[in-house]
Every structure is written in C-alpha cells, then in structure tokens.
Amino acid sequence: MSKILILNQTTTASPYTIVDYLTKHTWTLNSHPDVKVIHYYGGYDINHNPIDKFPVVPRGEIQLIDNNILVCGTNDVLGDYFDPRGEKMIMAIEYCLKHFEFDFLFRMSNTSYIHIPTLHRVLSESPTEKIHDGSRNLYNSEIPFIAGYNSYMSRDVAEVLIQNKDMYLESRYPEDLALGYVIFYKLKYASFDERPGRITAAWAFEEGFKAENYINVSDVFNYKFRPHTLEKYIQFHEYVSSLKYKNIIL
C-alpha cells in the first residue's frame, strides 16, 4: 500500500480564509494511516510584511508548525509584479523530501474536496516510478503539464524536480506549467499513468451537481469548486460524511 503526502497550497488571503478553514474542518479530518496532509503558506503578505498569524520565517527559509503547516519564507499571494507560487511549491516539496516518507506526492489547491480513500486506492494501483499525472493540459501545442489543483507525482519525480530546481525557478513559466516544462519537456523524465478509463477530478458544486453521481464512481477523488459555491461545498461534506455503504471508508 502506497504512502501518500497531500500538499495543499493554501493562503490566509481573502476570500479564501473561509475556504482554508473549511479544508481543515471537513475532508482532512478523515484520517488514513497511509495519508498525511500538509498545508503550505507563504509567510509574507502582498505588501511584503510578515503575516501575523505565523511565526516570522526569514526569507528563503521554511518552518513546520502544528505538525501539518509549512510556512515558507516568501510571499503568500500574487502581486502586481511577482508570482510566489513556484517558489512556495519548491520550498515545500524540498522540505517534505527531507522530512517525510512517501511514495506519492499529491499537490492541490485549497478549493477542492479530496476523497481520501479513493485517492489512496488510485495511487496504490499506480506504477511507483517516473509517474506525473492528474488533470492534463498542453501549452502551445508542445509542453504537457498537470494543473496545480490536481497533480500527483511519484517520489523520484519530486526528487528530480528538486535536483533541477534552478531550471524550474529560472523558467519564464508559472508554477504548474514550469513543472511540466522541466519534467516532461526538458528532462523527458516522467510519463502519464496510462491506465484506461480514469477520471481523477470533477468540477463540482455547479448547477445540477449531485454528489451521489460522483462518490465512489470511477477514480474521481478530487472535487474542485469555486468560492461562490461554498454552501454546496458544505452540503457535499455533510452528504459524504453520512455515507455508510459497504465500500466507503471515511
């Protein structure tokens, strides 16, 4: 059985404060012995001031607090002239490689509900080397990449990424595209998980969405939502938490 580290890119900035709270008080409470969730933030606000809810972390450093929160010594959100998401991700992955055992790293954004048992099953059935997959995209008809809200990689891919972090950070591409540029396009190191018939993510909570049509169907484990659908997100959690079917383990 694979060990999985979920790396949740989150933020203290509005309007995501309530989303951040819900993440920590809904699906992440569904513990699994082989799945660990880490939430990572930047330690500085859009004006480059330390965020007061965290200990001050020097620029370029990183600190683990409360066992599952990483505070990176960089900005937390996008500004007019900077995008810290790639640096945050590299710092978080590098820390996790040094301090945690895992077979797969699953990277997400906090506007998702993750069904942990399905995630664990899907990745436990996957090849364990040279795999990078999730929600697939293609940039400019030549650079494949995986969307940052639904992205998983085997541990060796994470290691290769960190070994080549200078290439990543120096690329002109944003966070998830830069990862595809390094791993797929430049190094040609990893490939997709080509098992047929798999759908790992669904845009949920939109008009007409019904939770019962998705839970435990195929390989869907990531239910992505938009902030304006928070009420449906809460209803979805209540529905999932009430399931007692024989093949659902929460």
User: Are the beta carbons of 149 and 222 closer than 8 angstroms?
Assistant: yes
Q: What global pTM score does this model have?
A: 0.90
Residue 102 resides in a domain: yes
User: How far, in Å, are 46, 99, 127, 156, 236 from residue 217 at the CA level?
Assistant: 41, 34, 21, 29, 15
Residue 247 resides in a domain: no
Over residues 170-198, the mean pLDDT reads 92
The 10s digit of each residue's pLDDT in 18-29 is: 888 888 888 888
Q: Rounded CA gap, 9 and 157, in Å?
A: 19
Q: What is the Rg, in whole angstroms, of the alpha carbon atoms belonging to the chain?
A: 18
pLDDT of residue 234: 76
What's the order of all strands across the beta sheet hosting 222-224? 112-114, 222-224, 201-203
Phi, psi (rounded to 5 degrees) for 44: -130, 145
Residue 35 resides in a domain: yes
CATH of the domain at 17: 3.90.550.50
pLDDT of residue 13: 84
Over residues 227-248, the mean pLDDT reads 65
Residue 98 resides in a domain: yes
Residue 221 resides in a domain: no
More confident position, 236 or 85: 85
Over residues 221-244, the mean pLDDT reads 75
User: How far, in Å, are 121, 136, 137, 223, 239 from residue 146 at the CA level?
Assistant: 20, 5, 6, 16, 29
Over residues 54-62, the mean pLDDT reads 95
pLDDT of residue 29: 83
pLDDT of residue 242: 65
Task: Give strand ranges (E) for the chain.
Answer: 4-9, 35-44, 62-65, 69-75, 104-109, 112-114, 132-139, 143-154, 201-203, 222-224
Residue 222 resides in a domain: no
The 10s digit of each residue's pLDDT in 69-91 is: 999 999 998 877 778 889 999 99
Question: How many domains does the chain contain in total?
Answer: 1
Whether 117 shows a pLDDT value over 80: the answer reads yes
Phi, psi (rounded to 5 degrees) for 60: 85, -5
The 10s digit of each residue's pLDDT in 1-24 is: 689 999 999 998 877 888 888 888
Q: Take residue 51 and report the two structure tokens written for it.
A: 């965020």
pLDDT of residue 86: 92
pLDDT of residue 145: 96
Residue 96 resides in a domain: yes
Beta-carbon contacts of residue 205 (< 8 Å; ≥ 6 apart) = 223, 225, 226, 229, 232, 233, 236
Residue 63 resides in a domain: yes
In which domain, by residue range, is 106 found?
A: 4-196
